[in-house]
């Protein structure tokens, strides 16, 4: 087999040495670079099949290397190596065209498997006359990445398999310990016994991680040999391919063509295998991304609880600010990403109050100037706390500027008008309304109508007039509601 050339890019010399040795032992020709800029120079002068690349490096990081390579028309597969906190960047890289990513630390065997998979798909695309393989695998990857949820991607995968292989019957089996029922298409063309028998075969295929092709003659021979098969097996050809990514067993895809004419071939099986391995990488990535999002949400919720524990009167304040801000975000047509940012910023906007003494936070009477100065530090303290969480980078400015005012009299930077980030202006309106309608240590909550009057009075000076007006519409329509006070 022709030797493939791999380019390793990382600023950790020790990691480069280990990977170079392991991939060299697998028969690959391996080159190395210490950052994106060095790698770009190698890519311009050598024919590289696969780049295994760190995301964060001095001078030029992995994402910029990928973008620049694409811009220069360099044709190489990209696999990214990334730390735990940078998974959303890795997902962005997949959207830019990388084929895979691995979380550090990783097993060296796993790296070899991922590289082989990337090279296999590359060979499939390069096969002369294999226009079908090229367009279908590429099209599948793009279609899957356009869906954000696991179930949406699985649905898209099944729809693409159906469109490509035109099966009479199709089933997707999950591992038996997963507890999910198989997803079927026209399965009533087969008797139940046959389907459950295929379920057992699919389980075996998943265990071994190897695809199988059964043609009508092979099935008939197996039936004659009395291999524990249902008696009334109609003539059919059938392919089973596993969706396995590393040690993750996602499921097995079974496609069946009834009759003896036009049976599936080994070429079909190879294409289905690539389909499945490609889909498995994307589905596994989505599942991991979701796990990390859940983990992040756990951290965020704990931080919110920590603030609320300091001031029982603010219980539920952050959640309601987040809810109002998201409603405003929808009304302003913000993207899904922006709505998520505004939700998280709404939850965390007052996180800096952790650093404000209780005696100031819970003081029932007015604050002295010194105390007010300390209170005004909470956006900066909040930004410092959140800056330790890499995935929340985009939320930092929203938290930092949530007390700016349109006329420039706010804090901490006395920004004016449109210089205040739009999402911070949204948080500010949501925060202002929620603070007025809920009880505080020093007063009872206002009626919604009175809170809206105050917002309108401050529109243009304290708050963004357009946002206040839209918020008023949401209140009138009942799309946002003040809390029920005790």
Q: Which residues bind Fe ion (CB under 5 A)?
A: 350
Shortest reach from residue 387's CB to Fe ion, in Å: 17
Using the minimum distance from each CB to Fe ion, give the nearer residue, 156 or 350.
Answer: 350
Relative orientation angle of helices 465-476 and 317-331, to the nearest 10 degrees: 100
Q: In what order do the strands lie in the sheet with 29-33?
A: 29-33, 5-9, 50-54, 77-82, 100-103
Is residue 105 reached through a cis peptide bond, with omega within 30 degrees of 0 on the bond before it?
yes
Shortest reach from residue 404's CB to Fe ion, in Å: 11
Identify any residues that bridge with 236 across adjacent strands, giving them in sequence order: 258
3-state secondary structure of 237: strand
Q: Rounded to 10 degrees, what is the CA torsion of 203, 255, 157, 90?
A: 50
Using the minimum distance from each CB to Fe ion, give the nearer residue, 68 or 371.
Answer: 371
Using the minimum distance from each CB to Fe ion, give the nearer residue, 49 or 350.
Answer: 350
By Cβ distance, which residue is nearest to Fe ion?
350
Give the burial class of 172: count Cβ atoms within 10 A of its Cβ; 0-12 exposed, 13-18 middle, 19 or more buried. buried
Looking up tokens 């047509």 gives 333
Shortest reach from residue 384's CB to Fe ion, in Å: 15
Alpha-carbon torsion (371, 372, 373, 379), positive or negative: positive
Backbone angles phi, psi at 455, to 5 degrees: -60, -45
Using the minimum distance from each CB to Fe ion, give the nearer residue, 2 or 359.
Answer: 359
Shortest reach from residue 289's CB to Fe ion, in Å: 30
Residue 153 structure tokens: 């991607």
Shortest reach from residue 244's CB to Fe ion, in Å: 48
Shortest reach from residue 374's CB to Fe ion, in Å: 13
Using the minimum distance from each CB to Fe ion, give the nearer residue, 120 or 412.
Answer: 412
Buried b or exposed e, range 119-151, using 16+ CB within 10 angstroms: bebbbbbeeeebeebeebbeebbebbbebeebe
Using the minimum distance from each CB to Fe ion, give the nearer residue, 216 or 352.
Answer: 352
Using the minimum distance from each CB to Fe ion, give the nearer residue, 117 or 405.
Answer: 405
Q: How many angstroms separate the CA atoms of 86 and 413, rounded? A: 29
Shortest reach from residue 30's CB to Fe ion, in Å: 53
């Amino acid at each position: 087999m022709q030797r493939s050339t791999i380019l390793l890019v990382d600023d950790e010399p020790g990691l480069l040495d280990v990977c170079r040795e392991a991939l060299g032992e697998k028969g690959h020709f391996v080159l190395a670079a210490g950052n994106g800029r060095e790698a770009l120079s190698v890519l311009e002068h050598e024919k590289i099949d696969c780049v295994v690349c760190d995301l964060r490096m001095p001078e030029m990081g992995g994402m910029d290397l990928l973008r620049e390579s694409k811009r220069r028309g360099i044709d190489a597969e990209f696999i990214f190596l990334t730390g735990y906190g940078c998974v959303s960047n890795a997902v962005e890289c997949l959207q830019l065209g990388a084929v895979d990513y691995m979380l550090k630390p990783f097993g060296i065997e796993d790296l070899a498997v991922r590289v082989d998979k990337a090279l296999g798909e590359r060979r499939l695309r390069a096969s002369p006359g294999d226009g079908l393989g090229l367009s279908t695998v590429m099209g599948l990857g793009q279609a899957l990445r356009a869906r954000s949820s696991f179930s949406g991607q699985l649905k898209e995968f099944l729809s693409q398999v159906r469109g490509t292989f035109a099966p009479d019957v199709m089933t997707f089996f999950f591992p038996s310990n997963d507890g999910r029922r198989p997803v079927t298409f026209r399965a009533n063309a087969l008797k139940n016994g046959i389907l459950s028998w295929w379920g057992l075969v699919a389980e075996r295929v998943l265990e071994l991680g190897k695809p199988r092709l059964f043609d009508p003659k092979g099935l008939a021979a197996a039936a004659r040999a009395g291999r524990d098969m249902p008696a009334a097996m109609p003539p059919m050809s059938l392919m089973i391919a596993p969706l396995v990514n590393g040690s993750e067993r996602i499921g097995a895809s079974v496609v069946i063509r009834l009759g003896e004419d036009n049976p599936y071939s080994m070429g079909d099986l190879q294409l289905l295998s690539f389909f499945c391995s490609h889909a498995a990488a994307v589905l596994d990535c989505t599942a991991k991304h979701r796990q990390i999002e859940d983990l992040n949400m756990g951290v965020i919720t704990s931080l919110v609880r920590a603030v609320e524990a300091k001031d029982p009167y603010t219980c539920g304040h952050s959640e309601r600010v987040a809810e109002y801000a998201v409603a405003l975000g929808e009304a302003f047509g913000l993207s899904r990403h922006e709505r998520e940012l505004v939700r998280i910023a709404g939850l965390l906007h007052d996180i800096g109050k952790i650093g404000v003494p209780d005696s100031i936070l819970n003081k029932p009477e007015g604050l002295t100037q010194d105390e007010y100065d300390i209170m005004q530090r909470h956006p900066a303290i909040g930004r410092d706390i959140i800056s330790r969480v890499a995935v929340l980078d985009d939320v930092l400015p929203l938290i930092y500027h949530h007390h700016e005012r349109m006329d420039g009299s706010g804090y901490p930077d006395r920004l004016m008008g449109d210089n205040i980030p739009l999402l911070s202006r949204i948080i500010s309106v949501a925060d202002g309304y929620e603070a007025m309608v809920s009880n505080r240590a020093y007063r009872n909550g206002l009626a919604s109508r009175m809170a809206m009057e105050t917002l309108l009075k401050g529109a243009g000076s304290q708050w963004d007039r357009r946002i206040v007006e839209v918020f008023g519409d949401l209140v009138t329509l009942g799309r946002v509601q003040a809390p029920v006070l005790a």
